Amino acid sequence: MNRNYLIFGLLVALGIGAVSSMWWWKDLSESTLTAQLQEERATHARIATGLTTEKEALQTRVMELSATLTELTGDRDYLKDSLREEKQKVDDIEQRVGDALKTVGVLDKLSKTDAQLLQKYSKIYFLNEHYVPPKLTLIDPTYLYSETRKQSLHAQVMPFFEDMFEDALADGVKLYVTSAYRSFSEQQSLKGVYTTTFGKGANTFSADQGYSEHQLGTTFDITTTGINGNLVGFENTPAYTWLTKNAYKYGFTLSYPKNNTYYVFEPWHWRFVGKDLARKLHRDGNYFYDLDQRVINEYLISIFD
């Protein structure tokens, strides 16, 4: 009996001890866990603080970079404007240089172009006895009415002359030259003959020496078939009709039309003035002597273009 009580007591004591031990262990684990949690919280708090500090530093950096970008954008725009202004200056200089070179080219071209070629000579300007075109060339005999009598023309006019005569022939119109370049002395002799024959009446159709367009070497008298090589009656021929419609295309114009104030109507007398001026005269329905000399002079630069 006593033994049983002893065993029971021992078991109770062991049970109480075990329970006590369990509660002690439980208390110890909770304390450790709490400490760990607190430590983790502290760690996370430090991390959060560090991240907050880093975030603030980054925000500050972003603000600084934004300010720098704004400043650089302003500098960029300023530089773009400056670059545009400098480029405009360069373009202006290039334009002025180009204009200067063009002017030099024009002046150089004009200096090499005979200024006499577009002067209004008939009773206005005078060519002295020493004037001879810079270069004369013989007209091909096939273009002459009399192949035995040589005729000359200004060398630079010749290509325009030949084109016109060949195109007229292609259209079935035959053109022939009866007289082209005449020197001062030749004109003097011719006017003398006319004066002897017609007296003062010669002044209505023949220029004095020095006033004749023929001395320029850019002018010629034309005849055609059917009138025996004469000039009278030329206005009634297909050749004259063709010339009035086409001569301007080659740079030629009629010097003395009907009702002009210089000489009688000369439908056979054609003068080279360059394509530009001839086109203008044809388009406007004017004649060479209708224009002011200053207007005519503007076309000298392009007379052989």
Concatenated DSSP letters for 79-117? HHHHHHHHHHHHHHHHHHHHHHHHHHHHHHHHHTS-GGG
Distance CA 225, CA 242 (A): 14
Nearest of 281, 221, 222 to residue 251 by alpha carbon: 281
Q: What are the residue boundaries of the structural domains of the chain, listed by start?
A: 1-91, 117-302
Mean per-residue pLDDT, 235-243: 98
The two tokens of residue 19 are 């329970």
Quote the pTM value. 0.68
Just list the catalytic residues.
Answer: 266
Look at residue 214 and tell me whether its pLDDT is greater than 70: yes
pLDDT for position 267: 98
Distance CA 121, CA 68 (A): 78
Tens digits of residue pLDDT in 73-82 = 888 888 888 8
Give the containing element (helix H, strand E) for 243: helix 238-246
The two tokens of residue 171 are 């259209």
Look at residue 283 and tell me whether its pLDDT is greater than 80: yes
The two tokens of residue 162 are 């030949």
Fold held by 117-302: Muramoyl-pentapeptide Carboxypeptidase; domain 2 (3.30.1380)
